[in-house]
Amino acid sequence: MSSLDQAVETQMANIQAKTGKSMAELAALIQQSGLTKHGEIRAMLQRELGLGWGDANMLVHNVLQTDGQSAAEASGATIDAVLDGIYTGAKAALRPIHDRLMAEIDTFGEFETLPKKGYVSLRRKKQFAMIGPATNTRVEVGLNAKGLPAAERLIGMPAGSMCNYTVKLTQVDAVDDELIAWIKAAFDGAG
């Protein structure tokens, strides 16, 4: 079992311990809710079970088997094919920024890439970064890290946001040592 699979297994065991419910009971709760949208189910789990965003999100993915990697594999799509869909049309010119980021991040060690509708989520035991085109002219890197040193382009996000920081990139050369150090700090902190 990979360390990523083990991390998911541990998180699912912790969710069961926190809620006092077995996976079968948690799955039944989701099915009986009548909800079908991921975000609605996640919000219900947070409200009904007192789970945090990350645990509720992981539980929905686990029960519905909808994590980005599995969804891509089930549809027969590769990560590259999913990225081709994200970086299409006017956003196609931004793909080199994404590719440069991933080339650097790939040197850090093992992690999971979960494609979403308009971005990719990068996870170890928890999400450490999100990368995707925010506009037709800009890629944004969302970072989950604490205590990064202040910098003009490192934008702190409000409490409760999916990421603690965001960095806006319009050129490949903006993927520099400073940005890679921030991403590495987030990677290291994720487990």
Instruction: Please report whether residue 139 resides in a domain.
Output: yes
Instruction: Please report whether residue 46 resides in a domain.
Output: yes
pLDDT in tens, 74-105: 445 577 777 888 899 999 999 999 999 999 99
38 and 102 in a single domain? The answer is no
Look at residue 23 in the predicted model and tell me its pLDDT.
87
pLDDT in tens, 154-188: 999 887 777 899 999 999 999 999 999 999 999 99
95 and 173 in a single domain? The answer is yes
Looking up residue 95, the CATH number of its domain turns out to be 3.30.1460
Element at 120 (helix H, strand E): strand 120-123
Q: Give residue 34's region: left, alpha or beta (phi > 0; psi -120 to 50).
A: left
Instruction: Please report whether residue 72 resides in a domain.
Output: no
pLDDT in tens, 34-68: 888 878 888 898 899 998 877 887 788 778 776 55
Q: Does residue 4 surpass a pLDDT of 90? A: no
62 and 104 in a single domain? The answer is no
Write out the residue range of the structural domain in which residue 18 sits. 3-66
Instruction: Please report whether residue 73 resides in a domain.
Output: no
Question: pTM for this structure?
Answer: 0.65
Look at residue 169 in the predicted model and tell me its pLDDT.
96
CB-based burial label for 147 (10 Å; 0-12, 13-18, 19+): exposed
What token pair was written down for 161?
Answer: 């946001």
Q: Total structural domains in the chain?
A: 2
pLDDT in tens, 105-147: 999 999 888 887 788 889 998 899 999 999 999 999 999 998 8
Instruction: Please report whether residue 74 resides in a domain.
Output: no
Residue 105: phi, psi to the nearest 5?
Answer: -65, -35
Look at residue 141 in the predicted model and tell me its pLDDT.
96
Last residue of a domain, one of 66, 95, 115: 66
